[in-house]
Amino acid sequence: MDNNIDFKDLWKQQAVSPPNIKELLSKLKYFKRVSLRKLVITNVLLIATSAFIIFIWYFYQPEFISTKIGIILTISAMLMYLFVYNKLVGFYKTVDRTQSNSEYLQKLISIKTKQHFLQSTMLSLYFILLGSGLCLYMYEYTSRMTIFWGIFTYVVMLGWIGFTWFYLRPKEIKKEQARVNGLIAKFEAVNKQLSVNE
Amino acid sequence: MEFEQLYKSYWQKVFRLCMGYVNDYDIAQDMAQETFIIVWQKLHTFRNEASIGTWIFRIASNNCLRQIDKEKRFPKSELPMHITEEKHYSLEPQILFLYKCVAELPEIDRIIISLELEDVKQAEIANIVGLSEANTRVKIHRIKEKLTQKFKENGQ
């Protein structure tokens, strides 16, 4: 097809001078700080909580084995969360951005798929561990109460766990899934543009 | 390779690639900056297997594709609408129309045609995008046809 429009010439008339390089470097610092902050806060918060629980164990010397198991379950819930969270951050860090578009897209799709799996499985496991850990932990202390208060405590606690399990957890999972699924679908659609030559 | 040197010689090209991808001056500017931040961070890993141009364009186009992820997180409607409109519209309508048309193409086509218009060799485009050279050639041809048609319909 003969085209008499010089696209290249038009294209290059869009000229813009580069912003000052100093501005770029200051942005770089900001960039690093923000992405690091969330990671550090999450880690510090959960590790501090775990340390606090261990401190309680050490300080109050629980007598029942159930209390100790409870503590271990609670801590492992938090450690597991951290592990997965850090791993996800790591996935993004290791993506090689200098690959070709098609390799890069494949990589993004595989990361998102992993994320999809981790998020739903991990969130459920997190709630199970935390919930059962808490129930076991409380047993020693409620057993010292009167029956009424003991039952009352468990009813309140199980009510809360039930609320998080049946309401918060599915809601959270659904929200994340919808987002990640949407992304996977979109990435795959773009990837298809590479494979079919319509 | 000196970063400052690269920044000067590639800023325009990278900016235009981003501009063709989103057709939004401010977002394109941000994307171009992000690209150079990555270039800055990764420059020490550059091994001369590809030309530096190919290398930079790969980062830039991958960053464009990453945009899909970001759009989902910050839907455009949430961005402040005002400030953007003035500065760049001293440009001829034909130029604006070209960028608009390019930004309406499928994602990969946007990247391919932007690189072609930037005078990147077809073999290199194939290498950046990850297609065969033959496919790239066909695609470029078709995209140009599409653009020509749009220009004609529009009476440009």
Give the model's pLDDT for residue A2: 44
Tens-digit pLDDT profile for residues B14-23: 999 999 999 8
Give the model's pLDDT for residue A1: 42
pLDDT band with cut points at 50, 70 and 90 for residue B122: very high
Closest partner residue to B106 (CB to CB) among A14, A15, A193 is A193
CB neighbour burial string for B49-61, b if at least 16 within 10 angstroms, e if fewer: ebebbbbbbbbbb
pLDDT band with cut points at 50, 70 and 90 for residue B90: low
The alpha carbon of residue B117 is apart from the nearest alpha carbon of chain A, in Å, by 5
Contacts of B74 in chain A (CB under 8 A): none
Taking an 8 Å cut-off on Cβ atoms, the answer to whether B129 and A100 are in contact is yes
Q: What is the pLDDT averaged over residues A152-167?
A: 91
Contacts of A197 in chain B (CB under 8 A): 135, 138-139
Taking an 8 Å cut-off on Cβ atoms, the answer to whether A98 and B65 are in contact is no
Give the model's pLDDT for residue A62: 85
The parent domain of residue B70 ranges over 3-153
A85 against A69, higher pLDDT:
A69
Q: What is the pLDDT averaged over residues B9-30?
A: 91
pLDDT band with cut points at 50, 70 and 90 for residue B118: very high
Taking an 8 Å cut-off on Cβ atoms, the answer to whether B62 and A15 are in contact is no
A20 against B127, higher pLDDT:
B127
Decide if pLDDT at B30 tops 70: yes
Query: B37 — contact with chain A (CB < 8 Å)?
Result: yes
Distance in angstroms (rounded) separating the CA atoms of residues A7 and A177: 42
What is the C-alpha end-to-end distance of chain B, expressed in Å? Answer: 42
Q: Around A145, how many Cα atoms within 13 Å sit in the side-chain half-sphere?
A: 13
Give the model's pLDDT for residue B117: 93
**Which residues are CB-neighbours of B97 under 8 A, at least 6 positions away?**
B151, B154, B156
Taking an 8 Å cut-off on Cβ atoms, the answer to whether B72 and A28 are in contact is no
Taking an 8 Å cut-off on Cβ atoms, the answer to whether A187 and B144 are in contact is no
Contacts of A32 in chain B (CB under 8 A): none
Taking an 8 Å cut-off on Cβ atoms, the answer to whether A13 and B119 are in contact is no
A152 against A3, higher pLDDT:
A152
The alpha carbon of residue A23 is apart from the nearest alpha carbon of chain B, in Å, by 10
The alpha carbon of residue B33 is apart from the nearest alpha carbon of chain A, in Å, by 7
Give the model's pLDDT for residue B75: 47
Q: What is the pLDDT averaged over residues A86-96?
A: 82
Q: What is the CA radius of gyration of chain A?
A: 26
pLDDT band with cut points at 50, 70 and 90 for residue A197: low
**Chains A, B: CB pairs < 8 Å:** 132
Give the model's pLDDT for residue A57: 86
Mean pLDDT computed over every residue of chain B: 84
Give the model's pLDDT for residue B78: 46
- Percentage of residues of chain A with pLDDT beyond 70: 95
Q: What is the pLDDT averaged over residues B109-129?
A: 93
Taking an 8 Å cut-off on Cβ atoms, the answer to whether A97 and B94 are in contact is no
B135-154 residues touching A, CB cutoff 8 A: 135, 138-139, 144-145, 147-148, 151
pLDDT band with cut points at 50, 70 and 90 for residue B139: very high
Contacts of A28 in chain B (CB under 8 A): 37, 40-41
Residue B14 buriedness (CB in 10 A; 0-12 / 13-18 / 19+): buried
Give the model's pLDDT for residue B85: 45
Residue A146 buriedness (CB in 10 A; 0-12 / 13-18 / 19+): exposed
Query: B66 — contact with chain A (CB < 8 Å)?
Result: yes
- For residue B101, the tally of other CB atoms under 10 A from its CB is 23
Distance in angstroms (rounded) separating the CA atoms of residues B94 and B156: 7
Q: What is the pLDDT averaged over residues A105-134?
A: 87
B60 against A16, higher pLDDT:
B60
Tens-digit pLDDT profile for residues A64-74: 899 999 999 99
Q: What is the pLDDT averaged over residues A94-118?
A: 87
CB neighbour burial string for A68-94, b if at least 16 within 10 angstroms, e if fewer: eebbbbbbbbbeebbebbeebeebeee
Decide if pLDDT at B79 tops 70: no
HEC string of chain A?
CCCCCCHHHHHHCCCCCCCCHHHHHHHHHHHHHHHHHHHHHHHHHHHHHHHHHHHHHHHHCCCCHHHHHHHHHHHHHHHHHHHHHHHHHHHHHHCCCCCCHHHHHHHHHHHHHHHHHHHHHHHHHHHHHHHHHHHHHHHHHHCCCCHHHHHHHHHHHHHHHHHHHHHHHHHHHHHHHHHHHHHHHHHHHHHHHHHCCC
Distance in angstroms (rounded) separating the CA atoms of residues B76 and B152: 31
Three-state DSSP at B155 gives coil
Give the model's pLDDT for residue B1: 61
Number of domains into which chain B is organized? 1
Tens-digit pLDDT profile for residues A1-17: 445 678 888 888 887 77
Taking an 8 Å cut-off on Cβ atoms, the answer to whether A19 and B29 are in contact is yes
Query: A182 — contact with chain B (CB < 8 Å)?
Result: yes
Closest partner residue to A101 (CB to CB) among B29, B130, B139 is B130
